[in-house]
Chain A
């Protein structure tokens, strides 16, 4: 049976179309989810896409966290549903306390848009299990508020538990502490990533096909997961 992967559209989402396309190229069925509908329509996993939900008003992701669909997703994620938050989706996951820390204004105050090398630090998550630990991938980064911050105890805990999923290599685009580009929760089913794997799935438009691994990983995870 084809896996069904939900992609949420909030008011102001930009990359929901590309995320749905990446899901389809990876071999799953994308299911569009609407922010105002708390029903997940039986999806096996969820992607929170990039963009500027609710105009980034107040703080990035702060208002999206209270969308009806998010209340269902938070409960389901605590129950093991794989959730990938990309860029604004990462910000939403932090605001919803599914992931620790926060994303703040880039230290240099400039929006950064470039192809970025990342090192996959943890291949043990639902979204990175097709990578090798230490593997380098090339994925576009584009953000104005991508500087990951957390207190030292939280950062040390993330490192000790192998929950830093990816780090920036060859230059940190936003000042993130410890070059962190992606993290996961303790169970490994929820991943937040600032760069955009959904923009690196086709030779025509992406700098590589490396982003596809995130989407094929969740399919592998779903097949291997106990029913």
Chain B
């Protein structure tokens, strides 16, 4: 069964101190060509029946993301593209 993937990212104007901390650590790995890092969250939703993008959007807007500080996108992925399938 396909799943709905919700990607949640901090809005561009919101400072991402976690991303900055990761970016600042990269030179210690010998990586010098990274300009910036932003950290977000990926959520996979499996419905009991057919995946419902509108319902997923509602869930994302009400709970998964805080629209004051975050943007989100919603998309369908096939079961073999989900995190479970890759593990």
What residues make up the interface of A, taking CB atoms closer than 8 Å to B?
58-59, 62-63, 66, 94-95, 100-102, 104-109, 149-150, 175
Chain A residues whose CB sits within 8 angstroms of the CB of B21 once the complex forms: 109
Partner of B69 from the list A58, A106, A149, A175 (CB cut-off 8 Å) is A149
Check if A102 sits within 8 Å of B17, measured CB to CB. no
Partner of A150 from the list B15, B17, B64, B68 (CB cut-off 8 Å) is B68
- B73 interfacial by beta-carbon distance below 8 Å: no
Check if A105 sits within 8 Å of B17, measured CB to CB. yes
User: What is the CB-to-nearest-CB distance from A98 to chain B, in angstroms, rounded to a whole number?
Assistant: 13
Q: Interface majority SS on A: helix, strand, loop or mixed? A: loop
Can you list 29 pairs linking A and B with CB atoms under 8 Å apart? A58-B63, A59-B66, A62-B63, A62-B66, A63-B63, A66-B63, A94-B68, A95-B66, A100-B68, A101-B68, A102-B66, A102-B68, A102-B69, A104-B14, A104-B15, A104-B69, A105-B18, A107-B15, A107-B17, A108-B17, A109-B17, A109-B18, A109-B21, A149-B14, A149-B15, A149-B68, A149-B69, A150-B68, A175-B15
Whole-angstrom distance between the alpha carbons of A149 and B64 in the complex?
Answer: 19
Closest to A154 in B: B68
Closest to B10 in A: A104
What residues make up the interface of B, taking CB atoms closer than 8 Å to A?
14-15, 17-18, 21, 63-64, 66, 68-69
Partner of A58 from the list B14, B17, B64, B68 (CB cut-off 8 Å) is B64
**With contacts defined as CB atoms under 8 Å apart, how many contacts are there between chain A and chain B in the complex?**
32
Chain A residues whose CB sits within 8 angstroms of the CB of B68 once the complex forms: 94, 100-102, 149-150
Closest to B65 in A: A59
Chain A residues whose CB sits within 8 angstroms of the CB of B14 once the complex forms: 104, 149
Closest to B21 in A: A109
Whole-angstrom distance between the alpha carbons of A62 and B68 in the complex?
Answer: 12
User: What is the CB-to-nearest-CB distance from B14 to chain A, in angstroms, rounded to a whole number?
Assistant: 6
Known: A102-B69, A108-B17, A109-B18. 11 other contacts (CB 8 A): A62-B63, A62-B66, A66-B63, A94-B68, A102-B66, A104-B69, A105-B18, A107-B17, A109-B17, A149-B69, A150-B68
Chain B residues whose CB sits within 8 angstroms of the CB of A108 once the complex forms: 17
User: What is the CB-to-nearest-CB distance from B38 to chain A, in angstroms, rounded to a whole number?
Assistant: 13
Closest to A103 in B: B69
Chain A residues whose CB sits within 8 angstroms of the CB of B69 once the complex forms: 102, 104, 149
Closest to B64 in A: A58
Whole-angstrom distance between the alpha carbons of A138 and B19 in the complex?
Answer: 33
Q: Top 3 closest A-B pairs, CB basis?
A: A102-B68, A102-B69, A109-B17
Closest to B63 in A: A62
Whole-angstrom distance between the alpha carbons of A157 and B14 in the complex?
Answer: 19
